Amino acid sequence: MAANDFGRELPTNNQVAEDQIWRTHCISEERSKKVFQSKWGFLQGPLSKFVEDELDKLVDPNRPDWRTMVQKPAEDPVPLSKYIHVQPSPQPFPKTTAGMIGWRAVDPRNWPDRYGRYYPGRDDIVKQLNWPRDVPM
């Protein structure tokens, strides 16, 4: 098969050339199969066979056991109230919408809007500026 400008393979009608390519691949595979044992035969077998010779080099005898290095959890956790002191909120709470913080938002006196959070506006800008409706914006 031949490749076009985009890297796609185009079908060829030359069956002799395709057969020669196939034969070359088969010969190359046979050659690789014969030479594999001499080049890569050491990879066959169990992993312990590979490591037997170098096991003493891989393991450091001075290394401590990992079981002794695991930290044990603290037996008596110290309560947070010992370290964290929460001061009471200042009274009276200011009547501003910017002062709405956290749990204070639940109090209706501290709500920022009179009509609720998602109240739609009644007027639009065209009506407020007395513009004619037919002018495109």
Is 0.85 surpassed by the pTM of this model?
A: no
Which residue shows structure tokens 């450091």? 60
* SS percent in the chain: helix, strand, coil, step 5: 40, 5, 55
Rounded CA-CA distance 116/55 in Å is 74
pLDDT digits (tens, 9 = 90+) for 68-118: 888 777 677 788 888 888 787 767 666 666 554 555 666 777 666 665 556
Give residue 83's Cα distance to chain centre: 36
pLDDT digits (tens, 9 = 90+) for 6-20: 666 666 788 888 899
Which secondary-structure segment (H or E) carries 2? strand 2-3
One-letter amino acid of 124 = D
Structural domain boundaries in the chain: 17-61
